[in-house]
Every structure is written in structure tokens, then in C-alpha cells.
Amino acid sequence: MDFLYSILVDPFVQMVELPDFFLQVLWEGFVAGVLYALIALGFVLIFKASGVFNFAQGIMVVFAGLTLVGLHEKGVPAYLALILTIGVMGILALAVERFVMRPLVNQPDIILLMSTIGLTYFLVGFGEFVFGGEPKQMITEELGLPTGSTAFEIGDGGLLILQHIDIAAAVIALIMVGALALFFNKTRIGRALRAVADDHQAALSVGISLNQIWAIVWFAAGIVALTTGIMWGARSDVSFALEIIAFKALPVLILGGFTSIPGAIVGGLIIGIGEKVGEIYWGPLVGGGIESWLAYMIALIFLLFRPQGLFGERIIERV
């Protein structure tokens, strides 16, 4: 009975007793969720247009962040460095299309996946070679991003503290998602992207250039990576350790559906908030540390009931 009580009742009692702390946990979870969503967004973009799971999305985040900070260290003004970094991501997109994707057209997906793993190692090596391996401080202030925090009083004497940078991250993520949704649903290129995802041959036959489409999605994914790099880098440092946060995107994608932009957002938020709340309120029951695997558990349970994810395109197959 005691055990059941501590699982089913006690955590909720705690939540009600300390509402300001609970809100703080929710907010932290929300912010982490926004960043997960941004990473997942990069994956969704490339998956939608080519059916490729881009293993290199994580390292692209690091690479973009490093390029930005590295350029600034070499004396380039912050905004110019930002523009140059966007340029670098553009060049990267063109290079990936020309040297990785194009020679592998019509190969099985597993081959394309392997090629993105190769790309990961290349970017790790190249990044270390150019910018060195030690962690760097993100140039938050120079880019004009807000620092500092605001405290709200909750109830009697409770405090909710919001970091300004987190608020900025949420707003920027929102704008980005809106822009991408419009791009995908309203434009000719968006329709072409969806067409390419469905059937390469058919897309070619109506006059869509695969090369052009791939360069565009990789560039878009590069921009998303840069944004993620800045936001995540502002919270910790920019270092190659960030690469592994990419794996956080996996449960988010399973939850939200690999092809859905809203799915990436909602999935990210569910995982982010679920993780934090689980860790704080249920974690102590098993000695803590559940944050690292809870996301995968949630994803696993979802897979059982909705293999296409919350918002994934319905799997249509006529037999």
C-alpha cells in the first residue's frame, strides 16, 4: 500500500503543496521541450523530402554553433559572423547534395543512412581541425539576445523564475515553425518537397529537380541547426558533447511522427515536460536518474498504439 501511495498519490500531493516549484519544473520542461522540438524539426525536414534519417543533424547543430563562435573569435563582428555562418550552412547543403546524395540516388534508405553517419564523422573531424576541440562560450550578448531573468511571485512567497533567453528561444522556435509550415503547405516548392518524399521517379517525371530540392532541404535543416546551436549553446557551452542531444530527437520523432512538423513540436514538448516532471516527482522512488531513459519508454509505449506517431501521415497500403 505504501508503495502504491508513493506512486499514485504522493507526487500529486507534492505538486499541489508547492505550486511555484511545480510551475518551475513545468517551465524547465517546456524549455527543454522547445529545444528538443527544434532538433527534431531538422530531422523532419530532411526525412520529409528524402526519406533519409539524417544522423548528422546533431553534429550540424554543433558545427553551426562552432562556426559562429569561431568566426567571432577570429575578430569578425557578431552579425557578420551570423550571416557568414548562414553562408557556410548553404555551402554545406550544396556539398552534401553534390557529393553525398546525388551519387546515391535510388539506393536503399539504409545506404543513405550510412552516408549520413559518414558525414557525421567528417564534420566532427573538420570542425575540430578548424576550430579546435575545446568547448566555447556562445556569443549570446553580442548577438543581441536577452540575458537575465524575471521572477514572478506565485501564491504566498513562491517564486517562478524565467530566464529571458528561454523565452526568446520559445518565441524564435514558434516563428520558425510557422514559417516552415507555410513554406511546406503553401508554396510550389513545398508541394514539390512532399512529392519527392512520396516517389522519386514520379517527381522527376513531372519536372521536379531532385538536386535542387535536396539542396533546399539541407539548407533549411542547416538554418534550423544554427538556431538550435545558438539557443542550446546559450544554456551550456558549444562543444562536441552537444552532438548526443541529437539522440533525444529520436523519441520525439517516434512520438510526433517522422513526417510532421507540428508533431515534432508537440512531441518535443511532451518529452521535455514528461522527462522533467518524471525525474522530479517519480525519480526519487527508484533512486533518480530516470530522465535519461524515460523518453524512450514513452516512445516505446506510443509505438505500440500509433506506429505512425501522433501526427504522422497515415500509413496507407492497399494489399
Contact footprint for other proteins (CB under 8 A):
179, 182-183, 186-189, 191-192, 194-195, 197-199, 201-210, 313-314, 316-318
SS3 of 136, please? strand
Cell numbers 516527482 correspond to 281
* Minimum distance of other proteins from residue 316's CB (angstroms): 3
Minimum separation from the CB atom of position 87 to other proteins (A): 20
Q: What angle do CA 180, 263, 56 make, to 5 degrees?
A: 70
Task: Supply the minimum distance, in Å, between the C-beta of residue 64 and other proteins.
Answer: 24
Q: Whose Cβ is closer to other proteins: residue 157's or residue 207's? A: 207
* Nearest by Cα to 271 from 289, 243, 249: 249
Name the minimum Å distance from CB 205 to other proteins.
5
Nearer of residues 6 and 212 to other proteins, judged by Cβ:
212
Which one, 1 or 206, has the nearer CB to other proteins? 206
Q: Residue 21: beta bridge partners?
A: none
* Measured CA distances, 151 to 17, 20, 169 (Å): 20, 11, 18
Query: SS3 for 306?
Result: coil
Segments of the chain assigned E as strands? 149-154, 158-163
We find the least distance from the C-beta atom of residue 94 to other proteins, in angstroms, to be: 18
Q: Which is nearer to other proteins, 200 or 235 (CB)?
A: 200
Least distance to other proteins, CB of residue 308, Å: 11
Which CB sits closer to other proteins, 291 or 313? Answer: 313
Q: Which three cell numbers stand for residue 72?
A: 567571432
Nearest Cα to Cα of residue 223 among 102, 85, 105? 85
Looking at beta carbons only, is 15 or 181 nearer to other proteins?
181
Buried b (16+ CB within 10 A) or exposed e, 119-140: bbeebbeebeeebeeeebebbb
Distance, in Å, from the CA atom of 281 to the CA atom of 277, rounded to the nearest integer, reads 6
Least Å distance, CB 42 to other proteins, is: 20
Quick one: 239 or 308, whose CB is closer to other proteins?
308
